[in-house]
Amino acid sequence: MRNSRILKLLAPALSLALALDLSLSFAKTEDPVMNAPIGMLAPTPRQALLDQTIARLLSQHHYRQSRLDDRLSSLVLDAYLEDLDPSRMYFLDTDIAGFERYRATLDDALKTGELKPAYDIFNTYLRRLAERTTHLQSLLQQEFRFNVEETLNVDRKDAPWAKTKAELDEIWRKRAKHDMLTLMLSGKDQAAARDLLNKRYDNRLRQALRSSSDDVFQLYMNAVAEAFDPHTAYFSPRNTENFNIQMRLSLEGIGCVLRMDEEQVTVVELVAGGPADLSQQIKAGDRIVAVAQGDKESLVDVVGWRLDDVVDRIRGQRGTVVRLKVLPGKAGVAAAEKTVRLVRNTIRLEKQAAKQEIKRFQGPNNRELRIGIITIPAFYSDFDAARRGDPNYRSTTRDVRRLLEEMRGKIDGLVLDLRENGGGSLQEAVDLTGLFIAEGPVVQVKNAGNDEPEVEKDSDPAQVYDGPLAVLVDHASASASEIFAGAIQDYGRGVVIGDPTFGKGTVQTLVDLNRLTRAKEPQGQIKLTVAKFYRVSGSSTQHRGVRPDIAIPSMLDTEEVGESAQKNALPWDEIAPTRYRGSQALTALIPELARRHQARIAANPDYQAFLRDLEFTREQREKTTVSLLEKQRRAEQERIESWQRERENRFRLGKGLPPLKPGDEIPEGKDSVIPDAALNETAQIVGDLFLLRGGDNASNVLVMGR
């Protein structure tokens, strides 16, 4: 889609705004920053005027057309409290009871520019943070006993608010013990772990005392925006500047979209073609706990830092080295740290480009089946080169067309792999669909307040490829990926295989607040949801995503990923279908394809191993409690490492490679020999489709001439 590239680039700033977390301490120091007064932040007259402008803009121009009323006021309060204290480890139950007086009045405050309630809540939060940090520092003076049977609940988002300080003290005692044990399991002794944790608490203090009135305003305005939908956000002047740097493509770093999650920087997604993506050592859900410049500098712990400060430390000149200490997300709460070395580089289109390979396997009567695989990491286009008139400019559609030409006469079927493709250009989604269908509509776009949707069409009646086709998707396939997959499914042109997609079916635009306020000093921007996508069948891609014809699970098969997991997400709905010429021929074949798929995977040891691996990973990821008994935690860590080693060794044996021994580094990414079971099975399904369509006697050609 037109705006999804913008959204991906905006995500780091948005995540900062939505999840700012600060801590304070009463530690004695000569540093004036450390001795700053606590809980004295207040709004400015400029912010009061900007607050009214933003509230008016949201209520009048957001797709929802929501009124500023008591219902919205309640949503804003809940969003603000959750953004401040997502794990319910700072506020007391009495604090929350006191905030209830604002539940039905924040809407009126937005209309008048009254920001005092927001700052009163934030200042209470700062005081609670100070109390907690003081308690934590006193805890570190004690010796922890790691031979006691205790557990910590690490998922407190739905836990009741603590009623007393003593109750919070106990929660934080276990939290500090868990933090220290995690560091000890990564190789530190208790003294070194205590020293590092003290530095972390000092970092939290410094970050909190640097909080400004603008920080509070951004946090509160994002809570207001969240009440409309999860993709609407306010960007302060500083985050607007960071966004503009990225839009000018001058950002040189590792290619990760990051957010702050419970005081740790968490990887949301990898930018296709970036150093992190190409290394295959970092995955979505991993947590970055320390950063070092070059190969010699010591790692600096960044837990508790502001997200933008961590991003500044990770960003650097092309060709320079950055080292990250990472806690793998897939291993859950019992994860062990690892260090990843990356060479910074500019994200280039050629690294995001579609790639092809051909898989071969034996079909009936020893007939070799050849299935083409085209992996599409993003829907990209080199707009600058196109504007310059460069006849060889890069785009998803151009690259896929070229790959299809290279495979002409060499394949019996085709898989388009859109897993982890977060979207991109809407025009590319439309044009790519046109390679596989005759002319016709591809997607409907409905703006707020308009009864008639706009229809984006493919106007060329020619097809580049009309053979057996499958589209492989997962929960991270979003936006433009969903438009393409939905169109292929609606036209009956190909089989959609995998997980339900992300469900991001909304369109955002950026509004420059300086233009609205005519202010001389920077005011920032609003990212505003203004439209929704609908398939040609009339069904929205919002919230539900595209449902596969044949399900193949993935590591992302979780309720925590996707639009449906977002609070205040716009609902699924449908409009009238547009006129298009689809085919029902494929629909009649899907039951038989599903039957053959089930029979094959039941007898396929590699696929069954894949399912067991998925189940083990889910078990680790979904654990909400962690043991504080050292011997049990070490046993859990060894269990995870043993699983990873045995998983790799299953396939090393078949390739004649020596098995990994305890203590050997476990390879990841390109170095791993574990096959892609989901992709291999998808290729087999396309082979079945080729045979069911009549095999060599069916129409299965590349029709050139577009």
Residues 324 and 379 reside in one and the same domain: no
For residue 668, the model assigns a pLDDT of 78
Q: Which of 179, 286, 490, 549 is catalytic?
A: 490
User: For strand 151-153 and strand 264-270, is the pairing parallel, antiparallel, or unpaired?
Assistant: unpaired
Task: Answer yes or no: do 260 and 150 share one domain.
Answer: no
Known catalytic residue: 215?
Answer: no
Statement to judge: residues 85 and 26 lie in one domain? yes
- Among the ranges 244-248, 447-451, 479-483, 558-562, which has the highest mean pLDDT value? 479-483
| Tokens linked to 246 | 């990225």
Amino acid 122: pLDDT: 95
- pLDDT tens-digit readout, 267-321: 877 777 788 888 888 887 888 989 999 998 989 888 878 777 888 888 888 889 9
Domain that holds residue 392: 349-587
Domain boundary among 199, 231, 263: 231
Q: Does the CA dihedral 106-107-110-114 come out positive or negative?
A: negative
Of 11, 1, 8, which Cα lies nearest the Cα of 534?
A: 1
Residue 446 lies in a domain: yes
Which amino acid appears at position 317 of this protein?
Q
Residue 71 in domain: yes
Residues 490, 533: one domain? yes
Question: Do residues 303 and 417 both lie within one domain?
Answer: no
Strand partners, 507: 531
- 490 is a catalytic site residue: yes
Radius of gyration of the chain (CA): 27
Asked whether the whole model's pTM tops 0.75, one would answer: yes
Domain boundary among 346, 380, 407: 346
pLDDT score for 14: 31
> Looking at the structure, do residues 96 and 211 belong to the same domain, yes or no?
yes
Mean pLDDT on 250-255: 62
Residues 6+ apart with CB under 8 A from 629: 146, 147, 148, 149, 150
Q: Are 276 and 268 in contact (CB under 8 A)?
A: no
Find the CATH number of the domain harbouring 442: 3.90.226.10
Domain boundary among 310, 326, 346: 346
Domain contains 594: no
pLDDT value of residue 17: 30
Catalytic (active site) residue 298: no
d(C-alpha 324, C-alpha 524), whole Å: 31
**DSSP H or E stretch at residue 153:** strand 151-153
Catalytic residue among 359, 504, 527, 532: 504
Q: Examine the domain organization and report whether 48 and 166 are in the same domain.
A: yes
pLDDT digits (tens, 9 = 90+) for 576-596: 999 999 999 999 999 999 999
Q: Residue 615 falls within a domain, yes or no?
A: no
Neighbours of 559 (CB within 10 A): 9
Q: Is residue 101 part of a domain?
A: yes
Show the tokens assigned to 702. Answer: 């590349």
Distance CA 140, CA 146 (A): 14
Average pLDDT over residues 630-653: 92
CATH number for the domain spanning 258: value is 2.30.42.10
Confidence (pLDDT) at 331: 59
Catalytic site residue from 479, 481, 539, 540: 479
Residue 638 in any domain: the answer is: no
112 and 210 belong to one structural domain: yes
Question: Mind listing the pLDDT tens digit for each residue in 517-541?
Answer: 888 888 999 999 999 999 999 999 9
Within this chain, do residues 527 and 569 fall inside the same structural domain, yes or no? yes
Q: What are the backbone dihedrals phi and psi of residue 212, each rounded to the nearest 5 degrees, phi first?
A: -115, 175
- pLDDT in the model for residue 397: 96
Question: Does 122 fall in a domain?
Answer: yes
328 or 484, which is more confident: 484
Q: Residue 705 pLDDT more than 90?
A: no
Are 332 and 356 contained in the same domain? no
CA distance linking residue 342 with residue 340, whole number of Å: 6
Number of domains composing the chain: 3
Distance CA 603, CA 108 (A): 64
Name 702's bridge partners: 465
How confident is the model over 6-54, as pLDDT tens digits? 333 233 333 333 222 222 233 344 454 455 556 689 999 999 999 999 9
Q: Is 145 helix (H, G, I), strand (E, B) or coil?
A: coil
* Residues 503, 397 within the same domain: yes
Judge whether 325 and 338 are in contact, CB under 8 Å: yes
